[in-house]
Amino acid sequence: MIRLTDECLCNLDDALQPHRFNLSRLSHLQKIILGTDGTVTQLIESIVDEKLVVNKLFEADVDSDTIATTSSEQQAETHCQRRVILLQGETSGLPYLYADSLVYHGNMNVNFSRALTHSQIPIGKAWEKFQVETYKTLLSWGFEYANELAPHFAISSHDLVLYRTYLVFSQGKKIFRITEKFPFVWYLQSEQFTASAATTATPTLVSGI
């Protein structure tokens, strides 16, 4: 597990003061999702009892030299691509997670790279399929307002979202910089539900996980 700490807490709005919006506000499930160092896809699948698929919202090459990095990210990169996706239920179509990633294709196995660009396979399942050994390090986590993410989750722009940003390394090279987000009102309880219940309105259904 990745250890969530106050040192990594970075709420992305001045109104979300750390003394009020911190670890104490999280449910056990939320802490597990934000802290997992395994594949978040398989973790959420086990929670919601439904297979997840990728809905690519955006994918394009970017100039890695223009990307702001922290001191822990100083490393020459080649063929960097931005990839924005929703992880959705295969049967229900419900969106369970938003992810905005930088993919450093030049630092990874060519088959692994092709799987990400030419298929709908989630990142976590891809690195398991190709047996890619990885190491993850957390850069930041915290609370923010949904704003432009609101339509994806059928919530208000003023509703809270949880996020985490982390780096993924393989064989000493950085292969991903990933930011994952989901509504704060989701994953509050330990009860699971089946995809057959997906006729219920999205916010009501998922907030009861």
How does 62-100 read in b/e, with b if 16+ C-beta sit within 10 Å? eebeeeeeeeeeeeebeebbebebbbbbeebebbbbbbb
Q: Which two tokens stand for residue 202?
A: 């999205």
pTM (2 decimals)?
0.84
Whether 206 contacts 186, CB under 8 Å: yes
Query: Is residue 126 very low, low, confident or very high in pLDDT (cuts 50, 70, 90)?
Result: confident
Confidence of residue 58 (pLDDT cuts 50, 70, 90): very high
Q: What is the pLDDT of residue 193?
A: 40
| Amino acid at site 124 | G
What Rg, from alpha-carbon coordinates, does the chain have?
17
The answer on pLDDT for 198 being more than 60 is no
* CA distance readout (Å), 37 to 24, 66, 134, 135, 208: 21, 28, 9, 8, 25
pLDDT value, residue 77:
52
Q: What average pLDDT does this structure show over 45-59?
A: 92
Q: Per-residue pLDDT tens for 61-98?
A: 987 555 545 444 444 456 899 999 999 999 999 999 99
Within 10 Å of residue 125's Cβ, how many Cβ atoms? 17
Question: In Å, what is the CA distance from 116 to each residue of 44, 97, 124, 167?
Answer: 20, 17, 10, 17
CA distance 153 to 157: 10
Segment (H or E) for 34: helix 28-35
